[in-house]
Amino acid sequence: MEMDVSRWRDAVADVFEVYDVTTLPQRGDAVRLRGRLLIDSDKAYAVLAPRLRAWGYTTLFRQEKDAQVILAVPGTIPAARPRLWLAALLFLFTLGSVLYTGALMEADSPTVRLLDGLPFAVSLLSILLAHELGHYFVARRLGAAVSLPYFIPLPTILPYFFSPFGTMGAVINMRSPTTSRRSLLAIGVAGPLAGFVVALPILIYGLSLSQVQPLPSGQMYTQEGNSLLYLAIKFIMFGRILPANGVDVSLHSVAFAGWAGLLVTALNLIPAGQLDGGHIIYALLGERARYVTGFVLVALLALGLVWSGWWLWAVLVAFFGQVRAMPLDAITGLDRPRQVLAVLIVILFILIFTPIPLEFRVG
């Protein structure tokens, strides 16, 4: 059946000057319209996407050397059905796991009282929940198909695993490509910013409950690492750089939760792959982001010389660092305010990045 070229020309005529119309059998008979946008690309996409969706097509914007291209791909992205039961069940398991971890921190006898872990659990889960809900609500507002947050319990009592937090965090599954680099930035930034805004006051409050004490002598202990921001906050609150001269802050469990929140935020902001930082750097640089990924891989390998855990991250970046879903609208870039926001988030990453997250030491 011959394609009605005039129908397609008329469908886009108010926002797009068409040079030619072809079909792409290799892409399920997608319709390719090559030409020139008459209005800003983001406004044009907002006009055409619902119009072509009504015809049963998903709209893609692409840039070629000599022209701009609209691809109308048969099929639309179905609305995802939320699995509320699974999200709730995983959250309850994670709550129990984090409660137990917090109770172990507070235990001063062989008896572990689960409710003693409540300050740590509430603090840490508030940070993680803020992070994931930041992603979730911004994604939903922008029309992206996204799952509910799924928390991952990791009980401290599991053999062969050291779990200082009782959880591996939480994940949200993006079930559709983002509309543009602008929406990718908004979704990528929302989680770390929300988590950071909650983590910072929790850390400051927790440090106000903590005391500067001599480091343990003659026994093994765990030493949390320092980021630039964490060092600065301790200096402001205690009047000196810590640890130093055999003393450090003995962290209250709430302070440890706040520190962990900053650590998790920094890890998510590593500019590679499907991490939040990978989305942000791709939104900022487009395809040039692959050069940043290469630099990150080399940096992680070098950092592995001071903390071996970075070698695992290097492996993950090597295997998954190039996996990136191109936005539906690959033409629209970031305007100046969004570029500034992306750069500010990169600066935040530098301030909260911890080169040596945790160390086991013997006093």
Mark whether 91 and 222 lie in a shared domain: yes
- Given 27, 54, 74, the domain boundary residue is 74
* In a shared domain, residues 104 and 70: no
Longest dimension (CA), the chain: 84
Q: pTM score > 0.85 for this model?
A: yes
Question: Is pLDDT of 197 > 60?
Answer: yes
In the chain, the number of structural domains is 2
Q: Assess whether 181 and 227 both reside in one domain.
A: yes
For the ranges 45-49, 71-75, 84-88, 110-114, the lowest mean pLDDT is seen at 110-114
Q: Are residues 106 and 62 in the same domain?
A: no
Residue 218 within a domain:
yes
Same domain, 153 and 52: no
**Mean pLDDT computed over 219-238:** 93
Confidence of residue 2 (pLDDT cuts 50, 70, 90): low
Spatial separation of the C-alpha atoms in residues 17 and 19, rounded to whole Å:
7
Question: Residue 348 corresponds to which tokens in the numbers above?
Answer: 């935040």
**Phi/psi at 332 (nearest 5 deg)?**
-70, 120
How far apart are alpha carbons 173 and 187 in whole angstroms?
A: 12
Separation of CA 115 from chain center: 31
Mean of all residue pLDDT scores within the chain = 91
For residues 41 and 62, the answer to whether their CB atoms sit within 8 Å is: no
The strand pairing partners of 257, in sequence order, are none
**Angle at alpha carbon of residue 256, lines to 222 and 138, rounded to 5°:** 130
Range of the domain at 22: 5-74
Confidence of residue 160 (pLDDT cuts 50, 70, 90): very low
Decide: 354 and 86 in contact? Cβ < 8 Å: no
* pLDDT value of position 336: 96
Task: Let me know whether 295 and 149 are in one domain.
Answer: yes
Question: Tell me: the pLDDT tens digits for 287-325?
Answer: 888 899 999 999 999 999 999 999 999 998 888 776 666
Predicted confidence at residue 1, as pLDDT, reads: 47
Considering the domain architecture, whether residues 10 and 95 belong to the same structural domain is answered as no
